[in-house]
Amino acid sequence: SEVYLNGKWLKPDEAYVSVFDRAFMFGDGVYEVTPFYKGKAFKLKEHLKRLQYSLDQIQVTFDAFSLENLMYEALDRLNLNETDAAVYIQVSRGAAARSHFIPEKIETSILLYAFPVALEGFENKTWEVMATEDKRWHRCDIKSTALLANVMANEEAIAAGFAENLLVRKGYFTEGSHSSLFFVKYGVLHTHPEGPEILSGVTRAEVINICADLNIKVVEKAVHIDELVEVDEIFVTGTTTQIIPISSITHKNKKVYTARKDSITRKLQKVFIERTRK
């Protein structure tokens, strides 16, 4: 039994939630995905801290850090200690008769399981992507299970043969449908500042740390789509994506960017591999 649901370990086909679960009915839940490199967590505290932040923001009283042991148990139950894996955690506000109003007595529902994931070889990929308008809400800092806008943006890209959709709000790039976004302009890294318009990516934060150690300057400033002519390198980051260079961007059926260089992206990938695999 490998799926943890509200205090029990169940087989996947035995793990059910109520049809009145608010994560199901309203997307009233938050989640987290934590990577384990051959059984070793990368940035576990940061992931749990972000889960705690999301819980606090939606006013669900629950201690995210209480899940740490269950995460390792989830890996053990599937024998995923020698291979690359991730742990999915979802916290729902709970089940109650359908109403926007949240009843006082409602029990938080916890789902947690591990799954194998390919984390090796990302440095051999490059992504051709598209860009569209960011149609998400204004609390993208909450890692909400309500991902319809992200799913639609991603699907639009996949259906058109692209690997990811880069989202643009009022002319400025925010992030990818499931990734953070970096630009190299005159040797300086640019990324959207933290706030309600992006998810505070754990990998994004680590890339910023690596840059500090390599003396690469980073500015947390959004890049406008018209600035792409001055951009040499673009890459996306994420827990399972890790660091992947963007080879081109298509916007409204026109190629608006083609990569000119990759040297900074490659340097960051190299250090990232050292840190995740140490």
- Site residues for ligand PLP per CB under 6 A: 150, 175, 178-180, 199, 201-204, 237-239
Q: Per residue in 77-94, is it b (16+ CB within 10 Å) or e — as a string?
A: eeebeebbbbbbbbbbbb
What amino acid occupies position 200? S
How do the residues of the chain divide into helix, strand and coil, expressed in percent and rounded to 5? 30, 30, 35
Kind and range of the H or E element at 61?
Answer: none
> Which is catalytic among the residues 49, 143, 170, 252?
143
Q: How far is the CB of 104 from ligand PLP (least distance, A)?
A: 31
| CB nearer to ligand PLP: pick between 15 and 27 | 27
| CB nearer to ligand PLP: pick between 95 and 243 | 243
31, 143 Cβ separation under 8 angstroms: yes
CB half-sphere exposure, 134, CA atoms < 13 A = 22
| CB nearer to ligand PLP: pick between 96 and 157 | 157
Judge whether 143 counts as a catalytic residue. Answer: yes
Q: How far is the CB of 150 from ligand PLP (least distance, A)?
A: 6
Q: How far is the CB of 247 from ligand PLP (least distance, A)?
A: 20
Return d(Cα 264, Cα 121) in angstroms, integer. Answer: 18
Q: How far is the CB of 215 from ligand PLP (least distance, A)?
A: 23
| CB nearer to ligand PLP: pick between 175 and 262 | 175
Active site amino acids: 143
